[in-house]
Amino acid sequence: MGLAYQESQFGSFTSDLANEFIRRFLRHIQATTPLNEIVLVLDNAPCHTKAEDVFDEEQFEGAEVLKLGSYSPMLNPIGNAFSVYKSAVKSFLARQRPAILRVPEAVTIRVHRSKFLELEADPLFAEIVTPELCNRTFCHSLPHHQRALRFEDMQVGS
């Protein structure tokens, strides 16, 4: 298995935007999987603070949300895959530094840099977040899930 659903978002990701994303994701996934078989696992990102509201809506009855505890990256394979992607983005920006620093007149460096990201974000995501990476990060988290189910203490980040 690999990536089930993906969208790009530039700029701030608020709880309202996150909830809209969750709704689109659930609509997409219910085409192949009954909602009563869906458990969406979320970390404690500020944009996830109102996510439970979506699962209270009649349309998404049956799906469940599970929020990870604080400081539990070892239980978050999506977060780990996203870290690999962010590292690739940083490498891309470093390679493009000379071009990024040649800012056209009447354009801010922030806007100029954003253009590079917008052009490369989706192709880079497809290149980096492969089924193999998804599987690898998922398999890496499994022993930690087993320990969590047994209520064992875990070292943060292990």
Please state the pTM of the whole predicted model.
0.80
Residues 20 and 61 occupy one common structural domain: yes
8 Å CB contact between 81 and 134: yes
Q: How many domains does the chain have?
A: 2
What's the pLDDT score for residue 1? 61
Instruction: For residue 100, give the H/E element and its range.
Output: helix 97-101
pLDDT(156) > 80 = no
- What integer pLDDT is reported at residue 87 of this predicted model? 96
Residue with the two structure tokens 């009855």? 61
pLDDT of residue 157: 55
Domain-embedded: residue 2: no
127 lies in which domain range?
Answer: 73-149
